[in-house]
Amino acid sequence: MDWTFIQKYWPDYLEAAGLTLRIGIAGILCAVLVGIFCSAVLYFKVPVLRRIVAVYIELSRNTPLLVQLFFLYFGLPKIGIRLEAGTCGIIGLTFLGGSYMTEAFRSSLEAVETIQFESAQSLGMTGVQTLRFVVLPQALATSVPAVVANIIFLLKETSVFSGIALADLMYVAKDLIGLYYQTGEALLMLVAAYLIILLPISIIGTILERKVRYAGFGN
């Protein structure tokens, strides 16, 4: 193992990790917003919109992120829409993550039992009050494990960004291997970088799950 190589090039990884995180976090936040909106559409069975959302979910979940990115980065310019690689990354991640977040929120909303609505309503709560004080707190708690899993999944998916020439972690590793043939060192730093980013999220997620687990216990 060539430690001087690692010493020399780890700052490249740091920079790439910054890019991965910036695009990753922006994409995940947008995905959460899309997820909240779409799950509300499905949950309240909004006419017309629910069909569009259903099509979106199938399209988004059944195509690989790399293909979606190619479409945005290489396809759209053909019809005159030119987007920066970073913007494509965020849009692609939002498009993919949105459907996963939708399913996470929708299933947790549906997991709240009917009796919870009825008992809230029998206490004279309006629909909005029932949602705000009774349904949403329970649904959010239930959704924590799925949402954390989605966040980790999406951050890992950023590794295909190198396909549209974004200098993310994967890109830097491939670049170094190509230039110096130091495969072992380059890949070791790549694995370490992903672990350093993802392990804390995983751990925080577990702690969060434990804090909100009352919802899983029923009453």
The footprint of another protein (CB under 8 A) covers 115-116, 118-126, 129, 133-134, 137-138, 141, 214-215, 217-219
| Nearer CB in complex with another protein: 32/120 | 120
The residue to which tokens 């195509």 are assigned = 63
| Nearer CB in complex with another protein: 180/214 | 214
Minimal distance, residue 218 CB to another protein, in Å: 6
Question: Token pair for residue 10?
Answer: 């780890």
| Nearer CB in complex with another protein: 80/124 | 124
Question: Token pair for residue 68?
Answer: 């979606």
Minimal distance, residue 158 CB to another protein, in Å: 34
Minimal distance, residue 131 CB to another protein, in Å: 12
CB 159 within 8 A of CB 197: no
Instruction: Collect all residues with Cβ–Cβ distance below 8 Å to 33 and sequence separation of at least 6.
Output: none
**Closest to 153 measured CA to CA, from 98, 219, 84:** 98
Question: Token pair for residue 89?
Answer: 């990354």
| Nearer CB in complex with another protein: 115/165 | 115
Minimal distance, residue 216 CB to another protein, in Å: 9
Question: Token pair for residue 56?
Answer: 């979106």
**What phi and psi, each to the nearest 5 degrees, are found at residue 143?**
-80, -10
